[in-house]
């Protein structure tokens, strides 16, 4: 029920919105994820979903690491809820096109050897940055407890992480959101199918490129 209300709130507040004339050649939707921070009720609901996901999966971790700046508020809430330490990654022009490159990645907050790190990312990008961050953490003695993706566009954007057999858990999936809005007569079937088709097209491309 909480997730259904969140879906409606994301749409009604214009954080997730469909373009006027959706087509199959470009993204039929727009997502202004940063606006969530200015909507306290939505932010609290979103954060709570992430916390409940961590609890339901019994993830054991010592510290939370925000993969990007946008993820820092969510990582902070999770760290506070579980009484854990917090880290955040800084991207100083890391070469995301090359897997295993750790140059340009720094981790602020202090990480100790054998600490289990839970990564939090808002929207994953189809490149090797998360993999490179994982390499940076493990090279210096850290252990990856899992990766939490706040928003999954269903475009295969975190395929590189799955290829390396790391656990990825999703808080909100765009296809689930569209199906829910369609079932509640908020979106039409054509719009939902446009979103799915566009995602599947990019997913095939990203699987081919990163597998």
Domain residues of the chain, as ranges? Answer: 2-210
pLDDT at position 1:
56
pLDDT at position 12:
93
Closest C-alpha to 65, from 175, 142, 169: 142
- Alpha-carbon distance of 71 to 34, in angstroms, equals 10
State the CATH class of domain 2-210.
alpha beta
pLDDT at position 23:
65
* Tens of each residue's pLDDT in the chain, 211 residues: 578 899 999 999 999 998 876 666 788 899 998 899 889 999 999 999 999 999 999 999 999 999 999 999 999 999 999 999 999 999 999 999 999 999 999 999 999 999 999 999 999 989 999 999 999 999 999 999 999 999 999 999 999 999 889 989 999 999 999 999 999 999 999 889 989 999 999 999 999 988 8
Q: How many CB atoms lie within 10 A of CB 139?
A: 10
pLDDT at position 121:
96
Distances (CA, A) of 207 to 23, 29, 95, 108: 23, 22, 20, 32
- Alpha-carbon distance of 27 to 19, in angstroms, equals 9
- Per DSSP, the residues of 93-125 read S--TTSTT--TTEEEES---TT-EEEEEEEE--
- Alpha-carbon distance of 173 to 152, in angstroms, equals 5
pLDDT at position 178:
94
This prediction has a pTM of: 0.93
């Amino acid at each position: 029920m909480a997730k259904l209300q969140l879906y409606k709130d994301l749409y009604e507040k214009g954080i997730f919105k469909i373009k006027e004339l959706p087509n199959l050649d470009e993204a039929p939707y727009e997502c202004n994820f940063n606006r969530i921070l200015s909507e306290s009720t939505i932010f609290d609901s979103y954060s709570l979903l992430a916390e409940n996901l961590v609890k339901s999966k019994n993830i054991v971790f010592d510290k939370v690491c925000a993969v990007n700046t946008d993820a820092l508020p969510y990582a902070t809430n999770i760290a506070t809820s579980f009484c854990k330490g917090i880290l955040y990654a800084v991207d100083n022009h890391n070469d995301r096109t090359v897997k295993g490159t750790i140059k340009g990645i720094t981790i602020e907050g202090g990480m100790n050897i054998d600490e289990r790190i839970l990564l939090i990312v808002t929207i994953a990008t189809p490149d090797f940055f998360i993999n490179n961050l994982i390499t940076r953490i493990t090279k210096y003695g850290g252990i990856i407890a899992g990766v939490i993706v706040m928003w999954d566009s269903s475009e295969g954007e975190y395929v590189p992480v799955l290829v390396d057999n790391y656990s990825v858990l999703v808080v909100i999936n765009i296809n689930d959101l569209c199906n829910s809005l369609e079932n509640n007569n908020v979106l039409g079937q054509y719009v939902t199918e446009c979103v799915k088709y566009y995602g599947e097209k990019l997913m095939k491309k990203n699987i081919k490129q990163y597998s």
